[in-house]
Amino acid sequence: MKITMIGTGYVGLVSGACFSEMGSRVTCVDVDEKKIENLKQGILPIYEPGLEAMVVQNHAEGLLDFSTSLARAMKTSSIYFIAVGTPQGEDGSADLTYVITVAAEIGKNLDKYAVIVDKSTVPVGTADKVRATIQKELDLRGVDIGFDVVSNPEFLKEGAALNDFMKPDRIIVGADTESARKVMKRLYAPFSRNRDKVIFMSVRDAEMTKYAANSMLATKISFMNEVANICERLGVDVENVRKGIGSDARIGYSFIYPGCGYGGSCFPKDVKALIRTSAENGFEPDLLNAVERRNELQKLWLFQKIIHRLGEDLTGRSFAVWGLSFKPGTDDMREASSVVLINKLIEAGAVVRAYDPVAMAEAGRVFPHAWFDDGRLVLVDQSYEALDGVDAMVLVTEWKTFRQPDFNDMKARMAKPLIFDGRNQYDPEEVRDLGFEYFGIGR
Ligand SMILES: NC(=O)c1ccc[n+]([C@@H]2O[C@H](COP(=O)([O-])OP(=O)(O)OC[C@H]3O[C@@H](n4cnc5c(N)ncnc54)[C@H](O)[C@@H]3O)[C@@H](O)[C@H]2O)c1
């Protein structure tokens, strides 16, 4: 099949590459000229395991192409995916500017029946807005061309995106016409060969499904973080409680790891957007408000532990931070807990020596240049180098490489043997026996 993927970020690039991997011809379109130029040369804008090889191979085979011209790409296909960003607006709602801009451009160039697929995460009612925007442009042109707008939210996880897309648990398709359902069923047939994975529903139901899924996962995390806070005050180890409740099939082990808060480009903004949608429709979502608030507080947890132990003025102190991306497997630092922590440490007068296996270049863009220039923030090339002479080590992102470090080497390098473990990666007894002072979450 022939597809135009509009927006070549995490979702657009992964989706485009995976469709081409299954034999479809895909043109990925983006307004970012540099990004498109680089992609043509096999240079990817993001780190995602396996993606580079897939992009390069399918580009070489002529199945995956890149362009800055939507008008030209639209000529070659009749399925247009909208996969642009929907960032958080000032009032917490999803900012639909990019989505509506694309819809208008589609309306200006549409010349045959097409299926327009909303893949971006968008609030209930957005497909209606996309439809109205396209229709308005067609009316202005005085042409009568049929089209369908479909909702097909994406559930991939950064760090495991290829596997999630190639072998999805389910494919949600909100479509209100038979012709659109037929196109979507054919498109996704290669991804659901072992069983039928496409779940059809109305467009509005599909839009809501995405928000409900992310809010449920965020709720599990915030719930467990709340339990951890209670455990800490009771002298209970939350890690034992986690194993105890996770073994209950009704609860399960996933998304119940206590930690220093969730980040990324999805959970924080999607929970906020659903809160906003809910409030706009006359319902105050008490539970979601609490999920959001718990997470904001949880992101401050490490800093609070640090100043409780070392005092509020951290002038002259230095800290090693292990892990900068919002989770392992990605270089994405949007809403990362590391950003909150490092800002707080530097504001309090400390020097930070940070290391991440893949997010170093991204970190160079995220933090103010002045901090690098005057040495308040040092990005080191190697994890152990971060520890040289520091007052404490703070583990923020649970990359596998941090799981079983050489504690003796660590201790020899650090000025003080003090560990703040934001992801409960270490055995408190083991590290204390080795002479460290250890603070974990809820233990
Ligand atoms: N990142 C994830 O893990 C993930 C997972 C599921 C769903 N989503 C959702 O998917 C959507 C996209 O997320 P993302 O992380 O891929 O975003 P992103 O910011 O990485 O990429 C968006 C891309 O769209 C491009 N763009 C903006 N306006 C454009 C236009 N008019 N024409 C063409 N391209 C344009 C930007 O240049 C950018 O490259 C969001 O709604 C997000 O919530 C993201």
Bridge partners, 80 (sequence order):
4, 116
User: CB of 120 closer than 6 A to ligand 1?
Assistant: yes
User: From first to last of its 443 residues, what are the pLDDT tens digits of the chain?
Assistant: 999 999 999 999 999 999 999 999 999 999 999 999 999 999 999 999 999 999 999 999 999 999 999 999 999 999 999 999 999 999 999 999 999 999 999 999 999 999 999 999 999 999 999 999 999 999 999 999 999 999 999 999 999 999 999 999 999 999 999 999 999 999 999 999 889 999 999 999 999 999 999 999 999 999 999 999 999 999 999 999 999 999 999 999 999 999 999 999 999 999 999 999 999 999 999 999 999 999 999 999 999 999 999 999 999 999 999 999 999 999 999 999 999 999 999 999 999 999 999 999 999 999 999 999 999 999 999 999 999 999 999 999 999 999 999 999 999 999 999 999 999 999 999 999 999 999 999 99
Residue 28 annotated as catalytic? no
Domains 2-201 and 267-439 share a fold: yes
Edge-first strand order for the sheet with 377-379 is 377-379, 351-355, 318-322, 392-395, 418-421, 437-439
Name the CATH code of domain 2-201 (choices 3.30.70.600, 3.40.980.10, 3.40.50.620, 3.40.50.720): 3.40.50.720
pLDDT at residue 167, as a whole number = 97
Nearest-angstrom CA–CA distance, 98 and 228: 39
pLDDT at residue 282, as a whole number = 98
Query: In ligand 1, which atom is closest to the CA atom of 12?
Result: 16
User: CB of 133 closer than 6 A to ligand 1?
Assistant: no
Q: Which fold has domain 267-439?
A: Rossmann fold (3.40.50)
Residue 235 contacts by C-beta under 8 Å, 6 or more apart in sequence? none
Pocket perturbation via mutation, ligand 1, pick of 84, 101, 365 by most ligand atoms within 8 A of CB: 84
User: CB of 85 closer than 6 A to ligand 1?
Assistant: yes
Spot the catalytic one: 28, 231, 260, 266.
Answer: 266
pLDDT at residue 194, as a whole number = 86
List Cα–Cα distances, 432 to 106, 262, 270, 288, 368, in angstroms.
61, 27, 40, 38, 36
User: CB of 101 closer than 6 A to ligand 1?
Assistant: yes
* Helices 238-246 and 203-234, packing angle to 10 deg: 140
List Cα–Cα distances, 351 to 17, 114, 260, 387, 404, in angstroms.
41, 56, 20, 12, 25
Query: Within its chain, how far is the Cα of 111 from the centroid?
Result: 35
155 is in an annotated binding site: yes
Other beta carbons less than 10 A from residue 54's beta carbon: 20
35 is in an annotated binding site: yes
**Which amino acid residue places its CA nearest to atom 19 of ligand 1?**
85
Domain boundary assignment for the chain: 2-201, 267-439
Calculate how far, in angstroms, residue 293's C-alpha sits from the geometric centre of ligand 1. Answer: 26
Residue 44 contacts by C-beta under 8 Å, 6 or more apart in sequence? 13, 38, 51, 52, 55
Calculate how far, in angstroms, residue 383's C-alpha sits from the geometric centre of ligand 1. Answer: 31
User: CB of 10 closer than 6 A to ligand 1?
Assistant: yes
